[in-house]
């Protein structure tokens, strides 16, 4: 997924990941988003990837993933992201992320927070499950049910 030195090579197949490998992957993904490198993001997923992002229906494959990233990043100017490893179990990585950006349509400063679980295969994301919340920076963070 990312250029790594040999000491930090990502596991093959469904092999277990170390904390150092998982954190290296998170830094690489942050960098890809900051550079808006859709090709690198998409190529970090297996050809047959499955992804479920927030309220979006389950989708599969790199073509659908590319369309998703293009649409998402077209709305986010000056996107800044920070991912934190929460849990690691074999080839499953759970992370919490915080992001800030300017909405390209409204110009409003926005914030988001999400929780993701990645199932890895051959150093790439095979399954991506994500929950995501977004709000206007400085705005109300309450859930509509509260």
Domains in the chain and their CATH numbers?
Answer: 12-136 (3.10.450.50)
Distance, CA of 137 to CA of 74 (rounded, Å): 19
The pLDDT of 10-23, averaged and rounded, is: 93
Predicted local confidence at residue 105, as pLDDT: 95
Q: Is the pLDDT of residue 3 over 60?
A: no
Indicate the SS3 state at residue 37. coil
Are 58 and 52 within 8 A, CB to CB? yes
The pLDDT of 91-106, averaged and rounded, is: 96
Are 24 and 8 within 8 A, CB to CB? yes
Predicted local confidence at residue 90, as pLDDT: 96
The pLDDT of 112-117, averaged and rounded, is: 96
Are 4 and 17 within 8 A, CB to CB? no
Which carries the bigger pLDDT value, residue 13 or residue 62?
A: 62
Q: What is the pTM of this model?
A: 0.88
The pLDDT of 60-87, averaged and rounded, is: 97
Distance, CA of 142 to CA of 25 (rounded, Å): 32
């Amino acid at each position: 997924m990312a250029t790594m030195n040999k000491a930090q090579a990502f596991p093959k197949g469904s092999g277990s990941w170390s904390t150092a490998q998982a954190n290296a992957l998170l830094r690489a993904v942050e960098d890809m988003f900051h550079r808006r490198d859709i090709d690198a993001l998409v190529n970090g997923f297996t050809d047959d990837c499955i992804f479920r992002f927030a309220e979006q229906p389950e989708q599969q494959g790199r073509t659908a993933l590319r369309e998703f990233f293009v649409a998402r990043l077209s709305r986010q100017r000056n996107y800044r992201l920070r991912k934190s490893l929460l849990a690691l179990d074999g080839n499953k990585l759970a992370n919490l992320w915080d992001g800030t950006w300017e909405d390209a349509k409204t110009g409003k400063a926005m914030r988001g927070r999400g929780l993701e679980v990645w199932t890895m295969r051959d150093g790439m994301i095979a399954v991506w499950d994500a929950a995501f919340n977004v709000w206007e920076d400085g705005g109300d963070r309450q859930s509509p049910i509260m």
